[in-house]
């Protein structure tokens, strides 16, 4: 009984807050606008709390891995030391002369530029090799008209989007008012269908997003409990 009441209350709050925010965006009613601003402010505050919750969860999961010596526990040491180190640096920063205070203190900037950006860039650099490998695997795994077309278009796109080597002829075809070249034609053949396809995908994604939101607003989906 108590559970049903809790669920009912949660549903009323969720639907009410959703409707006020939605109508506050579309309608020029001062009261709705004020309420919407208040709710969005609370949501931002909760998002900040969620970061803390996430950090604590990260610490708990890796502490458990470390104490039980679960596979990969060695990496957990670095995660825990990194997390506690960054927290400690930010707590101590105001007391160290010349480091500064707040999120943009010198210690944070050093950590961000020397560690996070460097490691992130190194990891992102590997993406290219993984992609080439994945393209090769795709042809072995799912050979079909669609996959072959995909790979051909990907190769043509790479050719026309990278600088054109002077050794390869690029004749003027006389297409368009200024006389387009072979490369212009290939670029158009690649980019126009790609843009059209991407817009089609975006349209479908947008409809999916709105439908998901409306299901929550109509209390058909209740991710906050049954």
Partner 1 sequence: MELQRLLGLGFVLLFAALLAGFTFVARRNRARPRVLRDIEAFRTLSTTVGQAVETGRRLHISLGTSAIGERDTATALAGLTVLDLVSAEAAMSDKPPVITTADGAAMLLAQDALHRVYERQNALRRYDPTSARVAGLSAISFGAALTSMVQDESVAGTILIGSAGAAEAILMTEAGQRSHVATLAGADDPSTQALLFVAADQPLVGEDVYAGGAYIGRLAHHLGSLQAQDVLRIIIGLAIVAGVVFKSLGR
Positions touching partner 1 (CB under 8 A) are 22-23, 25-28, 43-44, 46-47, 49-55, 57-58, 60-61, 64, 70-72, 75, 116, 119-120, 123-124, 126-127, 130-131, 133-135, 137-138, 141, 150, 198, 200-205, 207-218, 220-221, 223-226
Q: Which is nearer to partner 1, 31 or 168 (CB)?
A: 31
Which CB, 14 or 159, lies closer to partner 1?
Answer: 14
Host H or E run for residue 163:
none
Q: How far apart are the first and last CA of the chain?
A: 13
Nearer to partner 1, 7 or 164 (CB): 7
Nearer to partner 1, 99 or 154 (CB): 154
State which H helix or E strand residue 41 sits in: helix 30-68
Give the contacts of 25 (CB within 8 A, at least 6 positions apart). 36
Instruction: Name every residue whose Cβ is closer than 8 Å to that of residue 39 and which is 6 or more positions away in sequence.
Output: 17, 20, 21
Judged by beta carbon, residue 94 or residue 213, the one nearer partner 1 is 213
- β-bridge pairing 172-175 and 180-181: antiparallel
Token pair of 101, please?
């205070």
In the complex, minimum distance from the CB of residue 48 to partner 1, in angstroms, rounded to a whole number: 10
Q: How far is the CB of 13 from partner 1 (least distance, A)?
A: 15
CB count in 10 Å sphere of residue 53: 10
State in angstroms the smallest separation of the CB of 169 from partner 1: 30
Distance, in Å, from the CA atom of 41 to the CA atom of 60, rounded to the nearest integer, reads 29
Q: Which residue has the tokens 């790479």?
A: 158
């Amino acid at each position: 009984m108590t559970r049903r009441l809790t669920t009912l209350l949660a549903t009323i709050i969720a639907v009410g807050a959703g409707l006020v925010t939605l109508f506050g965006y579309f309608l020029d009613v001062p009261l709705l606008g004020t309420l919407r601003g208040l709710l969005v402010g609370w949501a931002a505050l909760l998002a900040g709390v969620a970061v803390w919750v996430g950090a604590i969860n990260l610490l708990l999961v890796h502490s458990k891995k470390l104490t039980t010596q679960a596979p990969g526990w060695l990496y957990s040491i670095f995660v825990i030391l990194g997390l506690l180190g960054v927290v400690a640096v930010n707590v101590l920063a105001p007391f160290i002369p010349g480091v500064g205070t707040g999120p943009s203190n010198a210690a944070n900037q050093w950590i961000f530029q020397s560690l996070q950006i460097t490691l992130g860039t190194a990891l992102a650099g590997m993406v290219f090799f993984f992609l080439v490998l994945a393209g090769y695997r795709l042809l072995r795994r799912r050979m079909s008209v669609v996959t072959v077309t995909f790979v051909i278009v990907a190769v043509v796109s790479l050719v026309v989007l990278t600088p054109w080597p002077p050794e390869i002829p690029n004749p003027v075809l006389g297409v368009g008012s200024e006389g387009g070249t072979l490369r212009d034609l290939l670029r158009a053949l690649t980019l126009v269908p790609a843009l059209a396809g991407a817009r089609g995908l975006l349209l479908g994604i947008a409809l999916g997003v709105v439908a998901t939101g409306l299901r929550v607003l109509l209390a058909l989906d209740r991710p906050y409990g049954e």
